[in-house]
Structure 1
Amino acid sequence: MKKIFLILSFTSLILTLTSCERDITSLNEDPKHPSEVPSGVLFASAEQVLLDQLMTTNVNRNISRFFTQQWSQTTYIGESRYNMSSRPIPRNHYNYMMASSSATVNSPGILSALRDAKKFLDGEAGTPAQKNNNLAMIELVNVYAWANLVDTYGDIPYFGALKATPENPGSAEIPYDDAKVIYLDLIKRVDDALAMINVTEKGYSNDLIYKGDMIKWRKMGNSLKFRMAVTLSDVEPALAKTYAEAAFTNGLFTAPEDNFGLKTFPSGQFSNPVYQDVIQSGRNDFVPSDVLVNFMNTTVDPRRAAWFTTVGGAYVGGVYARQNPFSNYSHFTDAITGENAQGYLLDYTEILFLRTEAAQRGFNVGGTAPALYADAIMASMTEYGISNANAVTYIAANPYNAANWKKSIGEQSWVAMFNKGFQAWNFSRRLDFPVFVNPSNSVVESVPVRMRYSDQEYLLNANSVNAAATKIGGDKVSTKIFWDKF
């Protein structure tokens, strides 16, 4: 009875995380009874918090939709102006993803939960194949989270991070590691995880996304590797080609059913994070931006009807970085803000755009760039219920331009990754399209291509973070991530 109560209490706490003081690791302070917090519960909690953090529109935690100027604000416009200091946004994202890199371990963190899941897995029952599958799942989510941190901040504590525990606090100073070195190590970790997978056995039954289906986890691992490989294209073209072709050969997502995320969120405490922030909160803080809506109006994009309401028969976006009376502009439809709407962190549409880019760069990934471009747009249209005829008309009106392929892929992936903030940000930074204009009332030097380090690090890990800031060229939003070469 005690074990059941502890598991239910833990799950309840995880699924009701709502503040910046969420705590995962403090629940695991009794190393003598690890089975009372099964590793599968920790794994599921990490999946849930990952989905929540990367999808939330909470302006204290995730403003990635403003980095790509797809959303506008109505009354409070600080975040559209890229003010990330009055609210500790870099700190909160960092802590939700990892937990503090210093001796402070009582912070929320996806990676700390996965660390504990891996530790507790060792003492649990199961066949070697099942345990290897579970370990592979832990590793793949680990890699996803670590890659997000590198893509967001650049150099970060990695090899020495997450060593501290409540029983062994360790040193307050943890060095920052080179971002490219981390990326290459993460790809190796993907390969090692894939090698552990046995598709004739299941993984964790607690798994929120694939229910332990290892065929789907294998596709996820290859697709994650493919994303990271293409991301490296401008700085390590030969390696990128090798990694991308290997991932393609071993099997990427081939249909929406493979997507990493949820086709429909459940109701209640684990509902769509966008619904919680936009509808359930009772606030009218957001509208689609004029930057996106005007582009879609110009291209006569049929996805407008799936995503936005009309005002006087027209789609009208709020002026970016300005106050916008809520009633004067288009609003989001249930496809975006519905309680049970979808939420994907890596999906078939994204993979098709990445394959388009890879093919254009000369990688052997099963198609030509123009054909894959059309497939990618079609997949996005299908994802939101647009008819095949309307999609074909749109593709014909917006053809692939091989002479300016970064513009073609950059703009169309930006639209297709709508409401997928971090995914859209990665495409736009690497391809330099669309070209965003820093608003005249911005508080920073440019539209962010990087998030500044957590202010907490300057208090708890000062020597290391200052050294890292100097190495990368300054802790500024204009300092490019290592793979963002052009």
Structure 2
Amino acid sequence: MKKLILPIFALVLVLSSCTDELTNLNEDPKGASEVPGETLFTNAQVSLGTYLNSADVNLNIFKLISQYWASSTYTDESQFELTTRSIPSNLWSELYRDVLNDLESSAQLIEEDELLNTDVKQNQLAQIEILETLTYYELINIFGNIPYTEALNADNPQPVYDDAEMVYMSLMDSLDTAIGNLNPSADGFGEADIFYNGDVGQWVKFANSLKMRMGITIADSHPDVAQAAVEEASPNAFTSNADNAVIPFVSAPPHTNPIWEAEIQSNRDDFLPANTLVDHMNNLEDPRRPILFTEYQGEYKGGIYGLNNTYANFSHFGQMVLEPDFEGMILEYPEVEFIRAEAIARGWNVSGTVTTHYNNAIRADMEYWGVSDADITSYLTQPNVIYDPTGDYREQIGLQKWLALYLQGLQGWTEWRRLDAPTLNGVADPNVPITEDDIPTRFTYPVDEQNLNESNWEEASSAIGGDQLGTQLFWDVE
């Protein structure tokens, strides 16, 4: 179930401080020295966590792309039109300007703080490195080649794009260094850390879980590197839902659940559970349905993906996700258990069995949503849910993992691209001939980059095989 990392009043004070102090930070790099490093770290956590859980159609449409949600008002995004709202530009700015820039500035201030305890400084810099790794990981998985070695330099508005594969391997090395530098016996950011309230031991688990995610992502393209990463990280990664990395939201604006903001505060009815998701869950008689959805005329009925659906004629979101203080997920234990299951299915040296970790993952996700033990056990004994070692692990794990990643649209999209499971829908509109083969495998680069950084954009586009929605990333080889 939901948990709060900080007492609400402490959280509000921390975040309000960030908001007040950082209003014009990114417009005035010299002003960064006036802002404490820990405040910048908090602000980066808020920006990253809010972005990953955003329901803003101008910024984060991955719940649509991964077909967890359907539209009741606008169909452009579920028909893969990204440029009308400048979505690539908006998310590029969010991750580079509001997350990575603040992390970079935070690290600089902490490095220069001669009064800060050496062990505390080492922990703080390691935590910054972990969040930088996660952010660049997401940028690579969205675009492919990205600015990295020349990024975040205000004096260089035309940075080169680095090879995604090279950056990825560099990030994995940096993550290993950060893990090695974490010292649970020393303090970190304390209450400025809204993910774990200063618990450095939890950051060790978080970083190792991220290492597992990064490893399994490249399992098809770099199996040896992937295997080593997962095997090394698994013993020190998440072991229960209590370890989940989450951003806590509060019951009153401005730091509230983005889904509540989109659906309740705005008094709009723009989104519905997609038929893609609901149909898969109906086929499995999934006990999460009464928690995640309302019924329509005695059944669970998802909005038809890609169409402009009449809101009143379909199931809606369940109350739990519409609460203003419903937390946002960054990385969760069920995902880690699915990685362990897949690793064993691939023949890697991870303790346990595929079935045990597969069942653990499903059970943990259902427990998170509040499903009863009896209903979980009943679900796990269904013939079409029981893991079959003679079947295709990609299909079996892919479907259940995609279901468990509900609301985590970006990671759900990554897993679908990687495992080619489950089966997603084309667009049902006969006037829009879009099939599953047309679902984007990356986003196009921002138009601003095309206009203001043309030569480097052209070189990057050529290097990845074309700046197209259907260009496959380096790890997407199956």
TM over 0.5: yes
- Partner SS state of residue 437, structure 1: coil
1:228 partner letter: M
Instruction: Give 1:30 deviation, angstroms.
Output: 3.6
Counterpart for residue 204 of structure 2: 218
Alignment partner of 1:116 out of 105, 113, 134 = 105
Counterpart for residue 359 of structure 1: 344
- Partner SS state of residue 98, structure 1: helix
Residues 216/442 of structure 1: CA separation in 2 closer, same or farther (3 Å cut) = farther
Counterpart for residue 257 of structure 2: 272
Q: Distance in 1 between matches of 2:393 and 2:15?
A: 51
Q: Is the 8 A contact 1:77 1:323 kept in 2?
A: yes
Instruction: Give 1:136 deviation, angstroms.
Output: 0.8
Alignment of 1:400 onto 2:387: yes
Q: Is the 8 A contact 2:277 2:302 kept in 1?
A: yes
What number of residue pairs does the alignment pair up? Answer: 456
Instruction: Give 1:329 deviation, angstroms.
Output: 1.1
Counterpart for residue 173 of structure 2: 188
Q: Distance in 2 between matches of 1:366 and 1:401?
A: 19
Q: Distance in 2 between matches of 1:335 and 1:181?
A: 41
Q: Is the 8 A contact 1:82 1:443 kept in 2?
A: no
Counterpart for residue 142 of structure 1: 132
Question: 264-273 vs 208-217, which deviates more?
Answer: 264-273
Counterpart for residue 449 of structure 1: 441
Alignment partner of 2:414 out of 412, 418, 426 = 426
Once the two structures are superposed, residues 73-118 of structure 1 have per-residue CA deviations (whole angstroms, 9 ceiling, x without a partner) of 102111111110111001111110013xxxxxxxxx2000101001
Counterpart for residue 438 of structure 1: 426
Counterpart for residue 91 of structure 2: 93
Residues 27/132 of structure 1: CA separation in 2 closer, same or farther (3 Å cut) = same
- Partner SS state of residue 225, structure 2: helix
- Partner SS state of residue 345, structure 1: strand
Instruction: Give 1:483 deviation, angstroms.
Output: 0.7
Q: Is the 8 A contact 1:272 1:341 kept in 2?
A: yes
Amino-acid identity (%):
34
Q: Is the 8 A contact 2:217 2:418 kept in 1?
A: yes
- Partner SS state of residue 392, structure 2: helix
Q: Distance in 2 between matches of 1:325 and 1:456?
A: 35
Counterpart for residue 143 of structure 2: 153
Counterpart for residue 10 of structure 2: none
Q: Distance in 1 between matches of 2:249 and 2:151?
A: 34
- Partner SS state of residue 152, structure 1: helix
Q: Distance in 1 between matches of 2:21 and 2:62?
A: 23
- Partner SS state of residue 270, structure 1: coil
- Partner SS state of residue 272, structure 2: strand
Q: Which runs of 5+ in 2 are unaligned?
A: 1-13
Alignment partner of 1:51 out of 43, 49, 52 = 49
Q: Is the 8 A contact 1:336 1:419 kept in 2?
A: no
Runs of 4+ in 1 over 4 A off after TM superposition: 7-10, 263-266, 442-445
- Partner SS state of residue 122, structure 1: helix
- Partner SS state of residue 386, structure 2: coil
Q: Distance in 1 between matches of 2:152 and 2:176?
A: 22
- Partner SS state of residue 344, structure 1: strand
Residues 228/266 of structure 1: CA separation in 2 closer, same or farther (3 Å cut) = farther
Q: Distance in 2 between matches of 1:265 and 1:230?
A: 33
Counterpart for residue 120 of structure 2: 130
Alignment of 1:303 onto 2:288: yes
- Partner SS state of residue 428, structure 1: helix
2:280 partner letter: F
Alignment partner of 1:199 out of 184, 207, 215 = 184
2:452 partner letter: L
Alignment partner of 2:69 out of 68, 71, 83 = 71
- Partner SS state of residue 70, structure 2: strand
Residues 37/264 of structure 1: CA separation in 2 closer, same or farther (3 Å cut) = closer
Alignment of 1:11 onto 2:3: no
Instruction: Give 1:310 deviation, angstroms.
Output: 0.8
Q: Distance in 2 between matches of 1:79 and 1:198?
A: 44
Q: Is the 8 A contact 2:345 2:354 kept in 1?
A: yes
- Partner SS state of residue 29, structure 1: helix
Instruction: Give 1:53 deviation, angstroms.
Output: 0.8
Once the two structures are superposed, residues 273-303 of structure 1 have per-residue CA deviations (whole angstroms, 9 ceiling, x without a partner) of 1111121111110110111111111110000
1:459 partner letter: N
Once the two structures are superposed, residues 233-285 of structure 1 have per-residue CA deviations (whole angstroms, 9 ceiling, x without a partner) of 10111111111111113x00111111111366453211111111121111110
- Partner SS state of residue 254, structure 2: helix
Q: Distance in 2 between matches of 1:49 and 1:384?
A: 25
Alignment of 1:389 onto 2:381: no
- Partner SS state of residue 261, structure 1: strand
- Partner SS state of residue 121, structure 1: helix
2:203 partner letter: W
Q: Is the 8 A contact 2:15 2:43 kept in 1?
A: no
- Partner SS state of residue 382, structure 1: helix
Alignment of 1:243 onto 2:223: no
Q: Is the 8 A contact 1:355 1:372 kept in 2?
A: yes
Q: Which runs of 5+ in 1 are unaligned?
A: 1-6, 16-21, 100-108
Q: Is the 8 A contact 1:28 1:37 kept in 2?
A: no
Counterpart for residue 30 of structure 2: 29
Q: Distance in 2 between matches of 1:188 and 1:8?
A: 32
- Partner SS state of residue 372, structure 1: helix
Q: CA RMSD in A?
A: 1.8
Question: 396-405 vs 89-98, which deviates more?
Answer: 396-405
Once the two structures are superposed, residues 353-385 of structure 1 have per-residue CA deviations (whole angstroms, 9 ceiling, x without a partner) of 111111111112221112211111111110101
Residues 374/9 of structure 1: CA separation in 2 closer, same or farther (3 Å cut) = closer
Residues 474/49 of structure 1: CA separation in 2 closer, same or farther (3 Å cut) = same
Q: Is the 8 A contact 2:276 2:425 kept in 1?
A: no
Once the two structures are superposed, residues 291-319 of structure 1 have per-residue CA deviations (whole angstroms, 9 ceiling, x without a partner) of 11111111100000110011122111111
